[in-house]
């Protein structure tokens, strides 16, 4: 399996002065996109199983080399075609820059799966197939696509507005009050409740991307935090939202069809 394949961005810091709020980029690296791909070895036959002294059960499976090689090779070539199609769509056919970004993220996800197939192909045949687009190249295309975006951000509270602007800066997107793309964020929370000595705060965060009055994407994420101190639970909610805002934003804008 391939785990924790991620796209890294520099963080952003929001500060205020007499002229208003500004976004400053800093160079600390953080991971915001996590994906996982698993490859099932189709055609494997279980020939023997046994139980070890510690109680664990083990099994021996046999995989015929020639059919497996064909499946892996076909899978890699199919993935290459899909990646090429999505990159071409992003550069030539996408109706807007956000749709182009979403197509590139789809290509990156497919490349994760392709890498796993190609690794298996290398095991059974001794040699894999070199692809035209690897993870590094697709991530460069994604970063280049992100910096072309301009969003006007609006939130229903000063704290959420600050988190939203910070997330925009983190992804390399430009804040632009004149942009036709409106990014709207809101947060709903229930009253803090105390149960068995713990304070609990539950709620949700919602974001929408609007283009010229049309909703391109909308998502909602749950919020649930706890602490033994009432003041601490509210701070933990703020910290969690600040930490997750950039991943939420990336998930939103790459869901555009």
Instruction: HSE, CB side, 13 Å, CA atoms: give it for residue 255.
Output: 15
Among 146, 178, 211, residue at a domain's last position: 146
| CATH number, position 221 | 3.30.160.150
Owning domain of residue 87: 64-146
153 and 230 belong to one structural domain: yes
Task: Check pLDDT > 90 for residue 40.
Answer: no
- Between the alpha carbon of residue 229 and those of residues 80, 181, 196, 238, 242, the distances in Å are 53, 40, 12, 15, 20
Structure token digits, residue 3: 């785990």
* pLDDT band of 26, cuts 50, 70, 90: very low
In a domain, 209, yes or no: yes
Instruction: Tell me the backbone φ, ψ of residue 94, rounded to 5 degrees.
Output: -60, 135
140 and 179 belong to one structural domain: no
In a domain, 93, yes or no: yes
Burial 38-62 (b: 16+ CB within 10 A, else e): eeeeeeeeeeeeeeeeeeeeeeeee
Between 70 and 26, whose confidence is greater?
Answer: 70
167 and 217 belong to one structural domain: yes
- Between the alpha carbon of residue 215 and those of residues 61, 91, 205, 209, the distances in Å are 50, 23, 17, 6
Q: Looking at 58-72, 110-124, 181-195, 205-219, which range is the least confident one?
A: 58-72
Structure token digits, residue 220: 């909602």
Among 93, 127, 146, residue at a domain's last position: 146
In a domain, 206, yes or no: yes
- pLDDT tens digits along 234-244: 899 999 999 99
* pLDDT band of 43, cuts 50, 70, 90: low
In a domain, 128, yes or no: yes
122 and 162 belong to one structural domain: no
Among 146, 178, 200, residue at a domain's last position: 146
Nearest to 84 by CA among 138, 42, 24: 138
186 and 156 belong to one structural domain: yes
- pLDDT tens digits along 61-71: 777 788 888 99
In a domain, 7, yes or no: no
Q: How many CB atoms are closer than 10 A to CB 18?
A: 4
What does the alpha-carbon distance between residue 102 and residue 34 come to, in Å, rounded to a whole number? 15
What does the alpha-carbon distance between residue 180 and residue 150 come to, in Å, rounded to a whole number? 8
In a domain, 5, yes or no: no
**What is the rounded average pLDDT of the residues 160-175?**
96
Q: What secondary structure letter does DSSP report for 10?
A: E
Nearest to 96 by CA among 219, 216, 242: 216
């Amino acid at each position: 399996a391939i785990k924790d394949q991620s796209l890294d961005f520099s963080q952003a810091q929001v500060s205020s002065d007499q002229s208003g709020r500004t976004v400053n980029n800093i160079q600390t690296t953080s991971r915001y996109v996590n994906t996982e791909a698993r490859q099932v070895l189709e055609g494997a036959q279980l020939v023997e199983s046994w139980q070890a002294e510690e109680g664990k059960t083990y099994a021996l499976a046999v995989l015929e080399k020639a059919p497996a090689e064909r499946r892996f090779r076909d899978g890699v070539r199919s993935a290459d075609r899909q990646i090429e199609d999505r990159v071409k769509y992003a550069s030539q056919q996408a109706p807007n820059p956000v749709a182009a970004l979403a197509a590139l993220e789809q290509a990156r996800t497919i490349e994760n799966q392709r890498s796993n197939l190609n690794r298996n192909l290398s095991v059974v045949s001794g040699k894999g197939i070199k692809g035209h687009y690897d993870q590094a190249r697709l991530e460069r295309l994604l970063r280049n696509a992100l910096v072309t975006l301009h969003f006007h951000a609006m939130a229903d509270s000063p704290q959420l507005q600050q988190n939203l602007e910070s997330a925009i800066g983190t992804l390399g997107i430009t804040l632009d009050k004149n942009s036709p793309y409106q990014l709207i964020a809101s947060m709903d929370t229930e009253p803090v409740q105390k149960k068995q000595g713990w304070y609990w705060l539950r709620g949700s965060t919602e974001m929408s991307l609007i283009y010229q009055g049309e909703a391109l994407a909308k998502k909602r994420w749950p919020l649930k935090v706890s602490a033994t101190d009432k003041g601490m639970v509210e701070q933990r909610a703020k910290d969690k939202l600040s930490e997750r805002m950039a991943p939420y934003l990336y998930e939103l804008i790459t869901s555009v069809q």
